[in-house]
Amino acid sequence: MTRIAVDQNKDMLGVIDVQPTFMEGGELPVPDGAAVVPVINRLLHHRFRNAFATQDWHPPHHSSFASRHPGREPYEQLAMPYGPQILWPDHAIQNTPGAALHPALDQHRIEIIIRKGWRPEIDSYSAFLENDGRTSTGLKGILRDRSIERLFLAGLAADFCVAWSARHAVEFGFQVFVILDGVRGIGLPTPDGADTIIEAHAELHRLGVRFIRSDDLDGY
């Protein structure tokens, strides 16, 4: 892997959903999820001067929670008016400790925080668009105003919120890198015997997303 020099005028680190709710002991634990925190902290200290974070931020009884749908179990799929939706355990509930940015995350370079999933009737995985594929979080406009051209993504979960953020970032013309040691995935089984981490990786690769490691980056 060739080395990548971070350009502090055009590059930004995106820290996706680094929240206790997605870690061991949380409501929707991503296997080994807490391992992303030290990797991201090193990037925030020594590589990127500019970063945004996303925060999954659901009201109680959010429509993506299986508990809202009698007879349904977490991780089942349900048809919503905006398309298929995986049902989740209750998680990332506004104003609870699990929904805070992780207390060990160094926020000193995090200048933008996008909260998503706060509309009760629609889920939102991506930092850019809600799951209807249309409703904007506003992040695209902020990044364009800031002349950002390349996005480096880390956080949780690799196969859901990181993957959807990467897809939309490509669609909006950003060059996208996923920092492999800075992400962890949920890994739900898929009908063809693979899992959602493998499928997301393959799809993002096809879209031109580059997969790197944090030590491929030169910063300051």
Q: Is 90 in the site for Zn ion (CB under 5 A)?
A: no
What is the nearest approach in angstroms of ligand VGL to the Cβ of residue 46? 25
Q: Which is nearer to ligand VGL, 6 or 40 (CB)?
A: 40
What is the nearest approach in angstroms of ligand VGL to the Cβ of residue 6? 25
- 57, 99 Cβ separation under 8 angstroms: yes
Q: Which is nearer to Zn ion, 56 or 159 (CB)?
A: 56
Closest CA to 76 of 61, 66, 62: 66
Site for ligand VGL in 48-107 (CB under 6 A): 56, 88
- 127, 168 Cβ separation under 8 angstroms: yes
- 143, 149 Cβ separation under 8 angstroms: no
Stretch that binds ligand VGL, among 136-144, 145-153, 157-165, 170-178 (CB under 6 A): 157-165
Q: Is 157 in the site for ligand VGL (CB under 6 A)?
A: yes
What is the residue whose two structure tokens read 């370079």? Answer: 109
Other Cβ atoms closer than 10 A to 202:
11
Cis peptide before 127 (omega within 30 of 0): no
Q: Is 159 in the site for Zn ion (CB under 5 A)?
A: no
What is the nearest approach in angstroms of ligand VGL to the Cβ of residue 21? 8
Q: Which is nearer to Zn ion, 6 or 30 (CB)?
A: 30
Identify residue 15 by its one-letter amino acid code.
Answer: V
Helix ranges (DSSP H) in 63-194? 139-145, 161-171
What is the residue whose two structure tokens read 């989740």? Answer: 88
Of Zn ion, ligand VGL, none, which one sits near residue 156, judging by CB under 5 to 8 A according to partner kind? Answer: ligand VGL
Q: Which residues bind ligand VGL (CB under 6 A)?
A: 17, 22, 56, 88, 125, 156-157, 160-161
Residues contributing to the site for Zn ion (CB under 5 A) = 56, 117
